[in-house]
Amino acid sequence: MLYRTVNPQRGFAEVSLESSVLAGGSNNRLLKLTLILVGLLFIPAPSYAKPSSSGCDPIGRVRESTDSQYPVNSLVCSGDRPASGARIKLFCFWSGHTLSLLGVNWRSEKCRTNTLVVPCFPGSSPNCYRDRGFAHDPSSPTLVTPYGNTLMSGRPFLSWTPVPGATQYTVQVRNKNKGWERQVQGTSLTYPQDRPALVPGISYTVRIHAYRDGSHLGSADKRLNVLPEETVQQLNAEITRIKALHLAADEEAYLDLNAAYSSRGLVNQAVQLLEARIAAGSRSPGIYRTLGDSFIKAGFPEQAKQKYQTATNLAKSSENQVELSKAQAGLQLVALLQAN
């Protein structure tokens, strides 16, 4: 079984269970990592969808249904099985796709994804692209925002970690043919209105150089791409449809909206969405755990660790065994990533 990103060359690694086993003892950590990923995807749940139950591991939301047990807009849990003659159209949370499924040959794993992104680590595919500064070299800045590599807007807000002793930073934005640069005193830059916006279909590199009194200290870069306008329109239509359901705010955020953003590679939007729920006072373990997942995708395991730990504490206090299992699996994943 293979877990990989749609674009593994853009900062993430392929993880293959088969190759891990064949590699033998030298890749024991890789095997353990893969098993944790499998555990994140397949966590036991009861037989019937119960949206209010902490025992439900939601895999999707019903869009159309001929089964009274699963009315439109209800949740379907992992392990559920509709009546044999029922037809259900299901919005899948892992993939962000809508599937039409027949009860007689129902397989809940069809609503799972075969991809899960993790940062590059030793033993990764040779095609794995590692953004410079990813290893958090103290002499180089680390690009923080936008999280991930895919954007909705062509004018992203850029931020990076400070370099001790740095007195100035130079921001460079380039594609294959042209680009621009700007000197900055601080550690962020609002995309200049007098510079051309990033164009869909073109890959850009954003590079940050740190200087101390004219001496170069280090640099970091990230590749960015903007979604095509057609895809943005489809996403906005999906968001409008989700909003029309008037779901509970936390459920809407970490299930439906997160699926809509994440399935299109929009890690930055997913992070902003979930952080907004936390700022609003959410104590949902699902919000914190899903935010941890987003930080893993963005390549920030330490931030992921903090969110997974909070999710673990919240899941224990609310006796939510599904989220507890996922949060603890996330902590194990972080430990393995940080050990490599």
Residue-range domain boundaries for the chain: 58-111, 143-226, 239-339
Beta bridge partners of 63: none
What are the residues whose beta carbons fall under 8 Å from the beta carbon of 281, sequence distance 6 or more? none
Distances (CA, A) of 314 to 61, 76, 140, 287, 322: 24, 23, 36, 10, 12
Distance, CA of 258 to CA of 236 (rounded, Å): 13
Condensed to tens digits (0 to 9), the pLDDT of residues 77-104 reads: 988 888 888 899 999 998 898 988 887 6
Alpha-carbon span 145 to 140, nearest angstrom: 16
Asked if 188 and 172 count as a contact pair (C-beta separation under 8 A), the reply is no
Topology of the domain comprising 239-339: 1.25.40
Within 10 Å of residue 109's Cβ, how many Cβ atoms? 12
Q: Are 107 and 82 in contact (CB under 8 A)?
A: no
In DSSP terms, which residues pair with 211 in a beta bridge?
Answer: 168, 216
What is the C-alpha end-to-end distance of the chain, expressed in Å? 22
Do 239-339 and 143-226 have the same topology in CATH?
A: no
Class of the 143-226 domain? mainly beta
If pLDDT is split at 50, 70 and 90, which confidence band does 17 have? very low
Q: How far is CA 172 from CA 10, 87, 209, in A?
A: 18, 53, 8
Whether 6 has a pLDDT exceeding 80, the answer reads no
Question: Is 239's pLDDT higher than 90?
Answer: yes
Look up the pTM and report it: 0.81
Between 253 and 134, the more confident residue is: 253
